[in-house]
Amino acid sequence: MHLENSAFALLLIFFIAACNPNNQTSNTDANNPTSADFFENPVLGGDYPDPSVVRVGNDFYMTHSSFDYYPGLLIWHSTDLVNWQRVTHALHQYVGSVWSPDLIYHEGIFYIYFPAGGTNWVVTANSPEGTWSEPINLNLPGFIDPGHAVDEEGNRYLFLSKGYAIELSDDGLSTVGEARKVYDGWEFPKEWSTECFCLESPKITVRDGYFYLTSAEGGTAGPATSHMVVSARSKNPFGPYENSPYNPIVHTENRNERWWSQGHGTLVDDIEGKWWILYHGYEKHFHTLGRQTLMLPIEWANDGWFKVPDGIDSEDKIENPAGKPMQKATGLSDDFSTERLALQWQFLKEYKPERVNLANGKLMFEACGEKFADCSPLLVNAADRKYEVTVEYEINAGVKAGLCLYYNEQAHMRIQVDENEFTVFIQDKAKIRKSSLSGNKGHLRILNDLNEVSFYFSKDGKNWEKVERSLDATGYNHNVFAEFLSLRAGVFAFGKGQATFDNFKYNILN
């Protein structure tokens, strides 16, 4: 550049700065995008697998598999597909481990179809906020991952795992006839490293006279390259289906990528007609966090098929969908000042809300079971690589209570207190035991630093004493202990009586 051009450029910069004294950059200036113009995956960190999302006007609603955590089927709300807020739980009756739901909106009613306990169910509501109905058994055993569809005449269908489909009644609350095999899946190369063929999670998008069948294959865990999203289409809901030339739509190609086992996708359009796919994946080295919700843009090619645009992947900064941004959900901390248990909390398996009493800004938690394996802890969905949880406790004689990181009955760790002693347990084996330094009350802390876990206790919540033994928690995941769960943080109480908890804090660490 010539000297006179450089001088002119400098004068122009000074002039722009003078006209914009706050140094603000317009979000609509494509040449000067701000961080607010882009998102990075995950859009929902933590164990929120098998996302199902629906747009109603300018609002988006989403739910996920909730497995044995109850209340189940947490509903999320967003106006931009990036920032999400908790709304309510749609399932308050234990019917088994809840897998891969489908949240849809049809003629003014919201439906969630989901498998649990060896069959398939549906719940309904006039609003996402509820009240949601009691679960209705569709008496459809042997299949998982139902996906709802409606044709141009208003006929309703339910697509199922293994490539099957069945007709639904007009009200969507029962099935008609027998399930039929309609799709054989996409044959991926034999040399690919996968967990299984596992044709599942059929989700239907009806567009331009076609039923677009979006499915998952390859198994949801196992090797990094296992899972994938594939697409097929047909003019008829019962086929025949033609596979997309762009398969797999989403897939982890090698173990060097950040996101592993990417798959299980749902399509949704934003308010400007742009399309997106929400799906899940494990973060490399952090399977403890479960399968997190990811999102990528979708484009429709001239041949009528959809694909992820060339040159974009899940590790990129991606331009935001259309929609008015909203505030993200509040964190996982709880001072127990509300009248009802906050939405971030879930029981494990033994759903007994009567155990919880909130009063005077404290949680009175009734003990359950005679041993830790039977205590049904109250858990939050840890979502970060580095975090700490702390809580203040007070216990009655006869109660054993404390703070835990919990995967399942076989894989967990905890700080446990009773009126006599303080103990750190790993897999129910006492690793350190001390006489209680604080009687029947005190403060507990667990630090998870990139899967390296340390334990602390304190009399006053200010001066902490670290327990000598730390633990590598990397293996606390499905590939080791099965069940498709995640390592969650929470409180527990077993024995006789109750424990009182206050100021549960979940702090994200840098």
- For the chain, which residues make up each domain, given as ranges? 37-319, 346-508
pLDDT of residue 436: 60
pLDDT above 50 for 42: yes
Q: What is the pLDDT confidence band of residue 113, given thresholds at 50, 70 and 90? A: very high
Measured distance CA(420)–CA(361) in Å, rounded? 27
Q: Please, which residues bridge with residue 61 across strands?
A: 54, 77
Helix ranges, 368-437 (H)? none
For residue 379, is pLDDT > 90?
yes
**pLDDT for position 29:** 30
- DSSP class of residue 33 equals -
Name the band, by pLDDT with cuts 50, 70 and 90, for residue 435: low
The token pair that represents 184 in the structure block:
């054989």
Token representation of residue 92: 């308050």
Q: Residue 491: beta bridge partners?
A: 378, 403
Residue bearing the bigger pLDDT, 17 or 468: 468
Q: Is the pLDDT of residue 59 over 90?
A: yes
Residue type present at position 366:
E
Q: Which of 393, 359, 403 is nearest to 492 (CA)?
A: 403
pLDDT at position 240 is: 98
Instruction: Give residue 393's Cα distance to chain centre.
Output: 29
- Select from 103, 108, 37 the least CA-distant residue to 76: 103
Provide the 10 A C-beta neighbour count for residue 295: 24
Cβ-contact 141, 161 below 8 angstroms: no
> 5: pLDDT confidence band, cut at 50, 70 and 90?
very low
pLDDT(91) > 70: yes
Please check the confidence at residue 26 and state whether its pLDDT lies above 70.
no
Structure-token pair, residue 274: 């742009």
Using DSSP, state whether 366 is helix, strand or coil.
strand
Residue 419 pLDDT exceeds 90: no
pLDDT at residue 2 above 50? no
| Half-sphere exposure for 45 (CA within 13 Å, toward CB) | 16
- Is the pLDDT at 33 greater than 70, yes or no? no
Strand partners, 432: 424
Tokens of 475: 């293996």
List Cβ neighbours of 375 (8 Å cut-off, separation of 6 or more): 367, 368, 369, 492, 493, 494
Nearest to 74 by CA among 14, 154, 132: 132
Mean pLDDT of 182-198: 98
pLDDT above 90: residue 185? yes
Arithmetic mean of pLDDT, 289-298: 98
Query: Is residue 119's pLDDT more than 80?
Result: yes
Residues 6+ apart with CB under 8 A from 207: none
Q: Residue 111 pairs with which residues in a beta bridge? A: 104, 124
* Residue among 381, 294, 260 at smallest CA distance from 42: 294
pLDDT at 27 over 70: no
Closest CA to 405 of 380, 384, 423, 422: 380
pLDDT higher than threshold 90 for residue 21: no
Per-residue pLDDT averaged across 122-147, rounded?
97
Average of pLDDT values for 205-212? 97
At residue 78 the predicted structure's pLDDT band, cuts being 50, 70 and 90, is: very high
What is the mean pLDDT of the segment spanning 8-21? 37
Mean pLDDT confidence for 298-305: 97
User: Token digits for 413?
Assistant: 């760790």
Q: What is the pLDDT of residue 347?
A: 96
Closest residue by Cα to residue 216 from 160, 142, 295: 160
Q: Is 301 helix (H, G, I), strand (E, B) or coil?
A: coil
Check residue 407 and give its pLDDT.
97
* Chain centroid to CA 56: 21
Question: How high is the pLDDT of residue 371?
Answer: 93
User: Of all residues in the chain, what percent carry a pLDDT higher than 90?
Assistant: 85
Tell me the pLDDT tens digit for each residue of 260-288: 999 999 999 999 999 999 999 999 999 99
**Topology, domain 346-508:** Jelly Rolls (2.60.120)
- Give the pLDDT of residue 77: 98
Centroid of chain to Cα 416: 28
pLDDT interval class at 24 (50, 70, 90): very low
Say whether 243 sits in a helix, a strand or coil. Answer: strand
Q: Is 191 helix (H, G, I), strand (E, B) or coil?
A: coil
Give the per-residue pLDDT at 468.
83
Quote the CA–CA distance of 275 and 273 in Å, as a whole number: 6
Lowest mean pLDDT among 197-201, 420-424, 456-460: 420-424
Mean pLDDT estimate for the chain: 92
Question: E strand or H helix at 53, and its extent?
Answer: strand 52-56
Gap between the Cα atoms of 209 and 232, Å rounded: 13
Angle at Cα 400 formed by Cα 415 and Cα 360, nearest 5°? 95
Residue 497 predicted with pLDDT over 50: yes
- Residue 165 pLDDT class (50, 70, 90 cuts): very high
The label of the residue with tokens 């086929």 reads 239
pLDDT bin (cut points 50, 70, 90) of residue 432 is confident
pLDDT at 117 (0 to 100): 96
pLDDT of 34 above 70 = no
Q: Average the pLDDT over 234-250 and give the result.
A: 98
Q: Which of 281, 285, 287 is nearest to 259 (CA)?
A: 281
pTM of the model: 0.91
**Per-residue pLDDT averaged across 141-163, rounded?**
97
E strands in 301-417: 306-307, 317-319, 346-348, 356-359, 362-366, 378-380, 386-395, 399-406, 412-417
Span 25-30, average pLDDT:
30
Quote the pLDDT of residue 430. 83
pLDDT of residue 282: 98
Record: fold of 37-319: Tachylectin-2; Chain A (2.115.10)
At residue 59, φ and ψ (nearest 5 deg) are -115, 145
The three state secondary structure string of 309-362 is CCCCCCCCEEECCCCCCCCCCCCCCECCCCCCCCCCCEEECCCCHHHEEEECCE
371-377: average pLDDT: 94
Instruction: Determine what percent of the chain is predicted with pLDDT higher than 70.
Output: 92
